[in-house]
Structure 1
Amino acid sequence: MHKTLIVKAFEKAKNELILKGELNPSTVKIAEEISDAIDKLIGFSLGERRYRDYHKLALELEKDQERDINITQVKIVSGLCNYLGYSTYSDFKKKIDNKDKNSNSSLIKRTISTYKYYLLILAIISLAFYGYHAVNQQKWMVWQKDRYVETDFNSNSLNQGLLKLYNADRIEHFKKIDPNCDTVFFKNDGTEMLWYGKNKSGELEFFTSVGLHPETGKTLKKITKYIIKKYICESY
């Protein structure tokens, strides 16, 4: 059932990108959309490459009813279910099983074009319903210089991709810093305390938590001793 889960997540993300103006979003863009959404929902980041790998394997096995893929990260399975509107993986599985049992030959024989049309209509209705409640009930945040700050809803900022759903963890722990030789890069057990990524100008920037670069939307990388010596402190 994991292959159905990831395929449906990609279908939803693709339709949302189309509604935002992306006429033919790439697989990378779709994977980044999912990665960003899951990170916002559960605070757990997984690189877009892993989502693409899962999706590719799912498509290869889609016609084989006896085989499934295995998404090893339990949090990602839960996050994908939440992204598709289900509380738990069990709810998702029950819903899919019921759909399979109630399907009939007339539904199976629908043409691909008709299926895409109704799917698009459903996506528009769902987005309209979600958008109404999101604007009126959801809190928002925006990136300012070196941190996220809470802000009011602004349609122009949302259309420009600047407005993000409020995330308390991002507000409290995600900051951009300028590290130096005195910076503590690792915990006592060796766990990284700094992540990095390039901005739109190609310059390296450093952040205090894992996540996506607030300017480019790309997944940040863990700090390494090589990066420290080359870009921060030659004597490290």
Structure 2
Amino acid sequence: MSKKKLLIQEVFEKGKRESGKETKSAVAVYLWSYFDDHFSPSISDKTFIRYHDAFIRDDREINIDSDTLNKMSQYLGYKDFPDFSGTFIKKDEATDKTTVKISVDRDEETLSEKLSNIIINITNEQHFKMPDFLKQNGLGIMEIAFLACLVTGNVVFSNNKKVADGFSSPLGFVSNMESGADKKYMYWNGERYIATDSSFIRPGLEIKAMNVHQWRNFRKVMRKDTLTDVNALGRTWYSKYNNEVEFFTDDGTDPDNGRELRKSTSLIIYKYAGKQKDSIGAEE
């Protein structure tokens, strides 16, 4: 499968999960709306359908400009299309390449500090198997790291350089999995706070100082119809503006309009989310 076809397939799969839609057209409309809010210029629903028909339905390649490929890759959580192409591994496909991240305690001695955040790419014609003597003797993490280095000669350090042949490669997927709590800033993407090191991303985005609690816990509930008294009462907060109600997973203010959030009640859940049979009381 080509990387472009894989990208289109994954974009539509994520769109299905997020929107709850099943048809190609409905998912394409959702993707258009999402990209219109998060990228400039956007990608229209007709363009998404054209890509789907070509790559998925007809199994043929058509030209896609690099900017569009980068945007779709970023939607999936990657830096750009080369990052996606070099690091994405299809979960249900057999692969002969395994990416392993090894982290070393920062309080270790100098050598350990230099070897922190090692990434080992193990490539072989057969699937990599841990030798029996490793299982029996239980070598430590540093010994395993050095052994893998010696066997493969394919090690990427945190400065993005690979020892042995000087090839430079982005950390990509593994970097995206690392904690963002050590970053200085964050911004609201319409659903959650995204950690960043930059004080400026693009016009229209408000960058604020990192608040680790908000970054980890504050989310907008994107599927309000799934809320019930059982899963939402006492666990969610809401913002009401122009008769529109949005629900959140933590207390604070609505990042979109600055309004103070209020604790969700049975009546609010009944009227604006999942309906409960025994909801009583008056609207706050």
Decide: shared fold, TM above 0.5. Answer: no
Task: Give the structure with higher Rg (CA).
Answer: 2
Q: What's the TM-score bracket when you normalise by the shorter of the two chains?
A: 0.3 to 0.5
TM-score by length of 2: 0.34
